[in-house]
């Protein structure tokens, strides 16, 4: 061991700062989150209670609501983001380098701002007033007025719309880079056979982009699982009758407003397992068809 | 196949989508510059009739927004500075050095890349409470140094650098630190730029961790401060939007100044936040 240290000491010193922070503030906390989920930890202390927290969660209508909202939000938003990113990237591809750069920047610009700022604007756009911006806009085509964030039926729709109505710039950039590196020969062969643009897109581009699509689905899904700021700001952390409550929102309020740290940690473990499950599915499907 | 004319509808469609995405930003700035009577006007006006800085004046006079901005610059700046140093060091060791445990350590780092940050929120809160760092700047900064995206980014980049220069330097008797400092660091400038921008943006926009860790409003970063304004000025949209605009403008300026690094960063590092 001393010999190893002498030979490799400098390597360990290079890794040491980052790795110590990583161990103290990421690795151990992940382990501790699991440990806490098996304890009754509250402000006054706690003891080991096995899986009781998870049993409590399974019976808790608010948690089930949060889980359902999070999954619904994720499914709709991720599907929309993937389709939008793919279509926009495909559209800007033939436009030449200059235009591509312009559009990539245009679609990325809205994303440099925090979810908090954006949610503050959306809260206003979707305010229940019949003269709110969304209601006025829809009113011109004879729809509404809707109660939006003021109604337990429409609040979640408003939160979902606020995400769907933003072009996912990161996805556009990644798809755009992937499309540029697709082999030209297949398209030339398709041209020879007289295939139209839609056939080429649907039969060549979309299937060849599968690895990028899978990657984006995983990243966007894990991000969507963590939706919090929008709900916190747009609907004061849950909306009427918990209509928009999500897992992270519930973790936050359970731990830091009600001091039930053990129960909140059990929710965090559920969130963790959801993310792992998604990552495993991606890994599997990537392994099953690497070649194209 | 596609002539310039057939592209006009495509451009139109893309521009409409782009402007729709930008609309919240436009609305934010517009509202912040509108006199109060227009802010609450029904129906809302998309094109301004009159512009004023009175909201800005009120915001700066009645809220600690300047303090919050300074806090954010300090917190995000310090975290970014440490990440540039530590991540390039670790990235160098993982990419170029061979040592026992290298694989295990790197695997641990990579395997936590997809762990949602909120999973560690409660344990980190407990750790900070134990070591007495709740409601302090170090309490917000130190956990920020545990984020390993930068290690991954730097390792991937440094791996692509040719090894000849390092070996030549070593033959000339350079120490490992000198190799890192005088060869690896200068060559890594493009990756460091990407890392700096992404890290700064990430911590400029951070919300849930500072919200949980800080109690004293004077220590808040701007995002947390804004959320509290929302509670205070629930009906004063002009004030709220002005606060949001003040928080947005620095990031937008950074974006325009370093645009190509943002785009490059997504390509290299994937979508992160």
Per-position b or e across A75-100, b if 16+ CB within 10 A of its CB: ebbbebbbebbbbbbbbbbebeeebb
In angstroms, rounded to a whole number, what is the distance separating the alpha carbons of residues A99 and B1?
18
CB contact under 8 A, A18 and B177: no
What does the pLDDT read at residue A93? 87
Count the Cβ atoms, other than its own, within 10 Å of residue B110: 13
Residue A125 lies in a domain: yes
Q: Is residue A47 part of a domain?
A: no
Q: What is the CATH number of the domain that holds A237?
A: 1.10.3720.10
Range(s) of the domain holding residue A213: 61-259
Nearest to B271 among A4, A171, A264 (CB): A171
Residue A3: pLDDT over 70:
yes
Highest mean pLDDT among A182-186, A282-286, B192-196: B192-196
Task: Please name the member of A26, A91, A222 whose beta carbon is closest to the beta carbon of B14.
Answer: A91
Q: Among the listed ranges A37-41, B18-22, B210-214, B227-231, which one has the minimum average pLDDT value?
A: B227-231
Find out whether the peptide bond into B92 is cis, omega within 30 degrees of 0.
no
Q: Is the pLDDT of residue A292 over 60?
A: no
More confident residue, A290 or B9: B9
pLDDT band at residue B272 using 50, 70 and 90 as cut-offs: low
Q: Per the structure block, which two tokens stand in for A12?
A: 């360990």
User: How large is the C-alpha radius of gyration of chain B?
Assistant: 23
CA A291 to CA A222: how far, in whole Å? 26
pLDDT of residue A258: 93
Q: Cα–Cα distances in Å, from A15 out to A151, A191, A241, B151?
A: 52, 53, 49, 10
The number of beta carbons lying within 10 Å of the beta carbon of residue A1 is 6
What is the number of domains present in chain B?
Answer: 2
Report chain B residues whose CB lies below 8 A from the CB of A167. 17-18, 20-21
The answer on B83 and B47 residing in a single domain is no
Residue A153's pLDDT is: 84
* Per-residue pLDDT at B42: 56
Q: At what angle do helices B8-32 and A115-125 cross, to 10 degrees?
A: 90
Please report whether residue B250 resides in a domain.
yes
**B61 and B10 co-located in one domain:** no
Rounded to an integer, what distance in angstroms lies between the CA atom of residue A280 and that of residue A132?
Answer: 43
Adjacent-strand bridge partners of A48: A39
Q: How many Å lie between the alpha carbon of A75 and the closest alpha carbon of chain B?
A: 17
Q: What is the pLDDT, as a whole number, of residue B37?
A: 62
Same domain, B6 and B130: no
Query: CB–CB of B115 and A226 under 8 A?
Result: no
Neighbours of B132 (CB within 10 A): 10
Q: ipTM score here?
A: 0.89
Which whole number is the average pLDDT over A205-223?
92
Mean pLDDT of A42-65: 91
The span from the CA of B273 to the CA of B271, in Å, is 6
Is B184 part of a structural domain of the chain? no
Tokens of A24: 């103290």
Please tell me the distance in Å from A153's CA to the nearest CA on chain B. 23
Domain CATH for B81:
1.10.3720.10
What pLDDT shows up at residue A290? 44
Q: Please, what is the average pLDDT of chain B?
A: 88
Least confident of A29-33, A58-62, B50-54: B50-54
Instruction: Verify that B82 and B46 share a domain, yes or no.
Output: no
CA B41/CA B47 separation, integer angstroms: 13
pLDDT of residue A134: 85
The pLDDT of residue A34? 95
Rounded average pLDDT over B67-96: 96
Measure in Å the smallest separation between the Cα of A124 and chain B Cα atoms: 8
- What gap in Å lies between CA A160 and CA A156, rounded to an integer? 6
Question: Which range, A44-58, B119-133, B149-163, B217-231, is most confident?
Answer: B119-133
Which residues from chain B sit within 8 angstroms of residue A18, using beta carbons?
Answer: 86-87, 89-90, 145, 148, 151
Residues of chain A contacting B111 with CB distance shorter than 8 Å: none
Across B109-118, B130-139, B155-164, least confident range: B109-118
Measured from the Cβ of residue A71, the count of other Cβ atoms closer than 10 Å reads 15
In chain A, how many domains are there? 1
B14 occurs within a structural domain: yes
In a domain, B185, yes or no: no
Using pLDDT thresholds of 50, 70 and 90, give the confidence band for residue B40: low
Residue B45's pLDDT band, with cuts at 50, 70 and 90, is low
Residues B78, B144: one domain? Answer: yes
């Amino acid at each position: 061991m001393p010999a190893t240290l002498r030979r490799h000491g400098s390597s360990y010193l290079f890794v040491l700062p980052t790795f110590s922070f990583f161990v103290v503030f990421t690795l151990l906390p992940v382990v501790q989150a699991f440990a806490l989920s098996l304890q009754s930890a509250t402000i006054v202390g706690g003891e080991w209670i096995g899986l009781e927290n998870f049993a409590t969660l399974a019976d808790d209508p608010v948690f089930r609501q949060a889980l359902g909202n999070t999954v619904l939000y994720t499914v709709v938003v991720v599907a929309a983001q993937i389709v939008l990113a793919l279509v926009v990237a495909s559209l800007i591809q033939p436009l030449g380098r200059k235009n591509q750069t312009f559009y990539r920047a245009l679609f990325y610009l809205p994303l440099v701002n925090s979810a908090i700022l954006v949610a503050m604007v959306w809260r206003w756009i979707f305010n229940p007033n019949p003269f709110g911006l969304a209601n006025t806009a829809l009113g011109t085509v004879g729809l509404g007025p809707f109660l939006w964030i003021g109604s337990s039926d429409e609040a979640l729709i408003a939160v979902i719309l606020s995400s769907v109505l933003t072009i996912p710039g990161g996805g556009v950039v990644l798809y755009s880079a992937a499309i540029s590196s697709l082999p030209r020969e297949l398209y030339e062969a398709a041209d020879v056979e007289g295939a139209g643009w839609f056939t080429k897109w649907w039969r060549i581009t979309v299937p060849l982009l599968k690895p990028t699509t899978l990657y984006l689905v995983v990243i966007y899904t894990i991000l969507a699982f963590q939706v919090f700021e929008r709900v916190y700001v747009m609907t004061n952390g849950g909306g009427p009758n918990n209509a928009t409550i999500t897992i992270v929102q519930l973790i936050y309020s359970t731990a830091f407003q009600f001091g039930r740290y053990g129960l909140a940690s059990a929710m965090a473990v559920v969130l963790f397992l959801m993310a792992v499950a998604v990552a495993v599915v991606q890994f599997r499907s990537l392994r099953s068809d690497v070649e194209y | 196949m596609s002539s310039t004319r057939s592209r006009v509808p495509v451009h139109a469609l893309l521009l409409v989508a782009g402007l729709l995405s930008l609309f919240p930003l436009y609305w934010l700035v517009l509202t912040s510059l509108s006199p109060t009577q227009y802010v609450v006007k029904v129906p809302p006006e998309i094109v301004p009739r009159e512009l004023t800085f009175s909201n800005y004046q009120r915001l700066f006079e009645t809220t600690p927004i300047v303090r919050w901005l300074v806090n954010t610059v300090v917190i995000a700046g310090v975290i970014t500075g440490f990440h540039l140093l530590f991540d390039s060091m670790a990235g160098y060791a993982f990419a170029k050095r061979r040592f026992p445990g290298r694989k295990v350590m790197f695997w641990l780092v990579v395997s936590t890349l997809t762990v949602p940050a909120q999973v560690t929120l409660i344990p980190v809160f407990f750790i900070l409470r134990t070591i007495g760092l709740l409601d302090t700047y170090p309490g917000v900064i130190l956990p920020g140094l545990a984020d390993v995206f930068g290690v991954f980014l730097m390792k991937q980049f440094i791996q692509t650098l040719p090894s000849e220069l390092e070996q030549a330097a070593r033959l000339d008797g350079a120490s490992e630190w000198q190799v890192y400092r005088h060869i690896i660091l200068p060559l890594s400038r493009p990756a460091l730029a990407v890392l700096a921008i992404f890290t700064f943006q990430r911590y400029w926009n951070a919300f849930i961790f500072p919200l949980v860790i800080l109690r004293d409003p004077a220590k808040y970063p701007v995002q947390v401060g804004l959320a509290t304004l929302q509670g205070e000025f629930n009906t004063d949209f002009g004030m709220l939007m002005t606060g949001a605009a003040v928080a947005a403008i620095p990031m937008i300026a950074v974006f325009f100044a370093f645009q190509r690094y943002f785009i490059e960063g997504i390509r290299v590092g994937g979508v992160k936040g």
